[in-house]
Amino acid sequence: MSKIGDLQEVVREFGPHLHDAPYDGWRADREIERMVPTHCPYCGMQCGLYLLVERGRVVGLEPRYDFPVNEGRLCPKGVTAYLQVHHPDRLLHPLIKRDGKFVRASWDEALDLVVARFREIQAKHGKDALAVYSGSSLTTEKTYLMGKFARVALGTRYVDYNGRLCMVSAAAANLKAFGVDRGSANPWSDIPLAEVLLIAGANCAETFPILNKFLWQQRDNGGRWIIVDPRQTPTARQGDVHLQLRPGTDVALANALLHVIVEEGLIDHDFIANHTVGWDEVRSTVARYTPQVAAEITGVPAERIVAAARLYGRARTAMVFHARGIEHHSHGVNNALAYINLVLATGKIGAPGRGYGTITGQGNGQGGREHGQKADQLPGQRSISNPEHRRAICAVWGISEEELPPAGVSVVEMFERMRRGEIRGLLSICNNVMVSLPDTNTVRRTLEELDFYVCIDFFMSESARYADVVLPGTAWSEDEGVTTNGEGRVIKINRANDPPGEARHDWWIVCEIARRLGRGKYFPFQSSRDIFEEIRLASRGGNADYYGMTWEKIEQNDGIFWPCPTPDHPGTPRLFEDHIFYHPDGRARFHAVEYEPPAETPDEEFPLILTTGRVVYQYLSGNQTRRIKFLVDQCPEPYVEIHPETARRLGIQDGERVRVRSRRGEGIFPALITETIRPDTIFIPYHWPEPQAANLLTNPVLDPVSKIPEFKACAARIERLKGGALPLYGARRKGASQSEA
Ligand SMILES: Nc1nc2c(c(=O)[nH]1)N[C@H]1C(S)=C(S)[C@@H](COP(=O)(O)OP(=O)(O)OC[C@H]3O[C@@H](n4cnc5c(=O)[nH]c(N)nc54)[C@H](O)[C@@H]3O)O[C@H]1N2
Ligand SMILES: Nc1nc2c(c(=O)[nH]1)N[C@H]1C(S)=C(S)[C@@H](COP(=O)(O)OP(=O)(O)OC[C@H]3O[C@@H](n4cnc5c(=O)[nH]c(N)nc54)[C@H](O)[C@@H]3O)O[C@H]1N2
Ligand code: SF4
Ligand SMILES: [Mo]
């Protein structure tokens, strides 16, 4: 029997089932006993909200008008987020797989089994035969714990986290250019101060809906937008200049923008001379990227490139933002560096309205990449390969330096090592690899072959179905802790309700495994706050310095921007306001980058470029949002966006189901015929599992520096189904309804 057992049985028991808010309008007899201030569990905006608690249960929410990021606004995911809390699919007790079936187990039974199997694997194959894979929807306390747990409790070098699939290309570029990785150099409240915004590869209206508040304020002030995206996203539609480039060609485009800026004498010589290193090489590189050369590569008309360059170059204030559209590439780091060159050459960084940032995706995507759950990182954004950094953290942890393992490898490389049998066991928390890793067919085989796989989640995920043990953790409303939003603002998550059934706090589960492994003295934490106190010490003196923060100070100030090195320090909303960067000489670095095509480009067999991404109504692997009826009604299944010209050529009707195939797999999707996409490109949102997982098709090739997979460009083809498929309007994006799962 395959390791997953009877899939239908798992679905019957654990869903996804649809859950809806029983609509009762306004109930006079409602007794809201508490309104708990906290934040949305989803994206990196981390909008403020109150959870409404009635008789110990979370029965609704209200947006917080007093939180400066959202000021009373929430998007469709945010307003329905509370429906996760008492969802009928919540995991209520530990599960152990016996003969392909999950059976209920006690905590003692489950944890003892985990510890016995971990010990057995390490005794036979060495410490590094176990891996930990974590995530950034966790509070910072938990992300810190996962890095420490891997190194100190298991003694393995193999730990990584799902930000590896997200913004690590930007993180690597930030480190190279600025010597520090804070997604946004400026607070978002600077956006309305910018005359021009250049937004590349970010579908803000759908993926950071509340950011629109700032975008429209900027617009009301007379601001202009330049949008770089192969699709006419809702934001592109509202913009002033849309550079609708071929996926994977951002380096050519950004180099050409800088080319024009140089030609027109719009660079900032003083800034370059006083605050940067490496301009000459960049100048001679971009000299070759004329608008005509770039037009050829990108498919964007040369005049538009010139117009955009003038708009950005002539503006007194301007900000550049990007997201996964430029980062999910085998040249993702170079893409980000090319935009950073533009920012540095014009000196548009640091001051109010002169800024730069990647828009971090996950709720705690920023905090999750600061305190050591990354393969090569120690707390405070220190490097595990730096002897001084190792010494500092070993002193806090009370271990000897020889005990601290060396750097590990990225998650995709960990999976390769699992496939080769070098890694035999996996503990995963807060991720769903069967939906989110590239090349699902290979991921599935890898999970099936693992000797031992433990998952901690609060819903049964498509990946957890392959686990030997599933441990029920708690949802975000059930624990306290901090997250750091996309601006670098550390905020406080509060507890509204008790965990359901026998579910336990993630940190308790992890500490308990450590204790049973005989490493309890390194994990004496009785609460999330105890962990936060250790983070203060461990981050002290690092780039991401939290030492001067307390939970109370964070709440009193609507969050605190790091670094905050001392108790009387107010935090640092503008990271580079004084134009001092984090390299030893205080200067930022230019990097000359050349255009290289994506690893896979269209050919006769696979003539289209497939790019993947998101829709407003679903979140990441969908394990949380595919259970909420309102969201599923709005967007029940994935689809493939096809330009009318391409559809005509292939004889495809709107809504018809078609097969999309790549070198790695295939899936059947309804066609959404739309003029908003380039004729050479197709788009599939990725929030669903097999058989409609976009990642059945994607290319697992990695950026050589950041090790991010190329989710945004692979070669694909579309085939009509034999016998002609009927249009299925139920699958359309909006206004559709579907029967219960
Ligand atoms: N509703 C919703 N919101 C979310 C999430 C979610 O799942 N759902 N996830 C959160 C997370 S973790 C993240 S990382 C963010 C992601 O936020 P975004 O990065 O905005 O989302 P994506 O849809 O992945 O990609 C953005 C855009 O990149 C474009 N693109 C594709 N290829 C290229 C290219 O080569 N160059 C350029 N310039 N653009 C390209 C796509 O057309 C798409 O419009 O969203 C966060 N917010
Ligand atoms: N093709 C394609 N693939 C992509 C992308 C793309 O654009 N295209 N985007 C990539 C990006 S940017 C990202 S960020 C990844 C995300 O990929 P994943 O991280 O794998 O997806 P999530 O849905 O966030 O998985 C989180 C899981 O943890 C659970 N969870 C949430 N909060 C908690 C918690 O506090 N504790 C515990 N124990 N569990 C929790 C949820 O129920 C869910 O099962 O996907 C990547 N994959
Ligand atoms: S914008 Fe992001 S944080 Fe705000 S409500 Fe929507 S999903 Fe939640
Ligand atoms: Mo992400």
Return the CATH number at 619.
2.40.40.20
Q: Assess whether the C-beta atom of 322 lies below 6 angstroms from ligand 1.
A: no
- 12 domain residue, yes or no: yes
The C-alpha atoms of residue 181 and residue 204 are separated, in whole angstroms, by 21
The answer, yes or no, to whether any atom of ligand 1 lies below 6 A from the CB of 712, is: yes
Domain assignment present for 538: no
Whole-number Å distance, alpha carbon 25 to ligand 4 midpoint, is 35
Share above pLDDT 90 across residues of the chain, in percent, rounded to a whole number? 94
Q: Does the beta carbon of 204 sit less than 6 angstroms from any atom of ligand 3?
A: no
- Domain of 124: which CATH number? 3.40.50.740
φ/ψ (deg, to 5) at 520: -60, -30
Beta bridge partners of 51: 36, 61
The residue among 90, 65, 2, 262 whose CA lies nearest residue 628 is 90
Q: Are residues 252 and 328 in the same domain?
A: yes
Backbone dihedral angles phi then psi of residue 699, each to the nearest 5 degrees: -100, 120
Tell me the CATH number at 68. 3.30.200.210
Same domain? 157 vs 187: no
Q: Are residues 501 and 384 in the same domain?
A: yes
Residue 333 has pLDDT above 60, yes or no: yes
Q: Within a domain: residue 568? A: no
Regarding the beta carbon of 203 and ligand 1, being less than 6 Å apart is answered: yes
Q: What is the mean pLDDT of residues 341-352?
A: 97
Residue nearest to atom 40 of ligand 1 (CA): 325
pLDDT for the residue numbered 555: 97
Question: Domain range holding 707?
Answer: 608-720
What's the pLDDT at 724? 58
Residue where a domain terminates, one of 49, 84, 119? 84
Q: What's the rounded Cα separation, in Å, for the pair 392 and 9?
A: 50
**Most informative mutation of 45, 74, 136, 207 for ligand 1 (most atoms within 8 A of CB):** 207
Task: Find out whether the beta carbon of 47 lies less than 6 Å from any atom of ligand 3.
Answer: yes
Q: Is residue 443 part of a domain?
A: yes
Q: What is the pLDDT of residues 588-640, one digit of tens each?
A: 999 999 999 999 999 999 999 999 999 999 999 999 999 999 999 999 999 99
Together in a domain, 321 and 435: no
pLDDT-derived band at 669, boundaries 50, 70, 90: very high
> CB-based burial of residue 54 (10 Å sphere; 0-12 exposed, 13-18 middle, 19+ buried)?
middle
Question: How far apart, in whole angstroms, are the C-alpha atoms of residue 682 and residue 688?
Answer: 17
Q: Is the pLDDT of residue 46 over 80?
A: yes
The answer to whether 193 touches 186, Cβ cutoff 8 Å, is no
Q: Is the pLDDT of residue 552 over 60?
A: yes
If asked whether residues 340 and 197 sit together in one domain, one would say: yes
Whether 296 and 414 map to the same domain: the answer is no
Q: What percent of the chain has pLDDT over 70?
A: 96
| Probe residue for ligand 1, chosen from 166, 232, 324 as the CB with the greatest number of ligand atoms within 8 Å | 324
Domain boundary among 84, 115, 142: 84
What average pLDDT does range 392-406 have in this prediction? 98
Same domain, 462 and 328: no
The total domain count for the chain is: 4
77 CB under 6 A from ligand 3? yes
* pLDDT confidence band for 710 (50 / 70 / 90): very high
Q: Cβ(86)–Cβ(58) under 8 Å?
A: yes
Annotate 95-156 with three-state secondary structure.
Answer: EEEECCEEEECCHHHHHHHHHHHHHHHHHHHCHHHEEEEECCCCCHHHHHHHHHHHHHHHCC
Q: At 372, phi and psi to the nearest 5?
A: 105, 10
Residues 6+ positions from 395 with CB-CB distance below 8 Å: none
Domain assignment present for 110:
yes
Q: Which of 358, 383, 417 is the last residue of a domain?
A: 358
The continuous run of DSSP H or E covering 293 comes out as helix 291-298
Q: Are residues 139 and 229 in the same domain?
A: no
Measured in residues, the chain has a length of 741
Residue 734 confidence (pLDDT) above 50: no
pLDDT tier at 723, thresholds 50, 70, 90: low
* 465 Cβ contact list (under 8 Å, min separation 6): 4, 5, 7, 10, 434
> What are the tens digits of pLDDT across the range 139-164?
999 999 999 999 999 999 999 999 99
**Structural domain contains residue 191:** yes
At residue 4, the pLDDT reads: 76
d(CA 306, CA 129): 54
Separation of CA 171 from chain center: 12
- Do 436 and 67 touch, CB atoms closer than 8 A? no
Average pLDDT over residues 388-410: 98
Per-residue confidence (pLDDT) for residue 733, from 0 to 100 = 44
Take atom 2 of ligand 1 and give the residue whose Cα is closest: 207
Q: Is residue 553 part of a domain?
A: no
Residues 175, 306: one domain?
A: yes
User: What is the CA(375)–ligand 4 centre distance, in A?
Assistant: 17
394 with 520, same domain: the answer is yes
CA triple 327-328-332, angle to 5 deg:
45
User: In this predicted structure, what is the pLDDT of residue 5?
Assistant: 78
Q: Identify the CA nearest to 402 among candidates 145, 128, 122, 151.
A: 151
383 and 289 belong to one structural domain: no
Residue 342: give its domain's CATH number: 3.40.228.10
Q: Would 515 be classed as within a structural domain?
A: yes
476 CB under 6 A from ligand 3?
no
Residues with Cβ within 8 Å of 459's Cβ and at least 6 positions away in sequence, in order, are: 14, 15, 16, 84, 87, 89, 90, 91, 623, 624, 627
Residue with tokens 């599923």: 632
Burial class for 244, CB neighbours closer than 10 Å (0-12, 13-18, 19+): buried
Whether pLDDT at 276 is above 60: yes
Judge whether residue 738 has pLDDT over 80. no
Mean pLDDT, range 311-315, rounded to an integer: 98
Q: Quick check: 496 pLDDT over 90?
A: yes
114 lines ligand 3 (CB under 6 A): no
Is residue 693 located within the same domain as residue 617?
A: yes
Could you tell me the distance, in angstroms and rounded to a whole number, from the CA of residue 641 to the centre of ligand 4?
21
Radius of gyration of the chain measured on its C-alpha atoms: 25
Distance 619 CA to ligand 2 centre (A): 8
What is the pTM for the complete model shown? 0.97
